[in-house]
Amino acid sequence: MTPSEVQNIAATGQAIYYDTVVHITTWFFFGLYSLIALVTLYVYFRRYMISSSSPKKPVLAYILVMLILTNTWNYVCQMGIHLSRIQIVVSPRITMLAFP
């Protein structure tokens, strides 16, 4: 192999490794965030909505649910970008189709 081919293979491996590490760490932190958010939502409903005698306005619950949904959408979009980059690096045919 020529030195340019070796350099291309090394760059490809490095890009795949970087995207895989980013993917794994991001989903780990998303799982941690989801756990914290769901526990917070559970404690909020348990303490303020169910056990109290006076009715509470569930504005904080709505805000928390919207925050969970928007962050989930953000994580899915970001990870889709990394997965598509890995697929483009691995399969050159997709690169030609995506960028004519």
The residues, any chain, with a CB within 8 Å of residue 79's CB and separated by 6 or more, are: 23, 26, 27
Q: Indicate the number of domains in the chain.
A: 1
Q: What span, in angstroms and rounded, lies between the C-alpha atoms of 79 and 93?
A: 21
Q: Find, among 5, 26, 31, 7, the residue nearest to 83 by Cα.
A: 26
pLDDT confidence of 6, banded at 50, 70, 90?
Answer: confident
Please report, for residues 9, 39, 43, the alpha-carbon distance to residue 4 in angstroms, rounded to integers and kept in the order given.
9, 52, 58
Residues 6 or more apart whose CB falls under 8 angstroms from that of 45 comprise 61
100 located within any domain:
no
Expressed as residue numbers, the domain containing 51 is 3-94
**pLDDT tens column, 22-79:** 888 888 998 998 899 889 888 887 877 666 665 566 777 788 888 888 988 888 887 7
Quote the pLDDT of residue 99.
Answer: 46
pTM of the model: 0.64
Q: Is residue 60 part of a domain?
A: yes
Q: Which residue has the higher pLDDT, 29 or 99?
A: 29
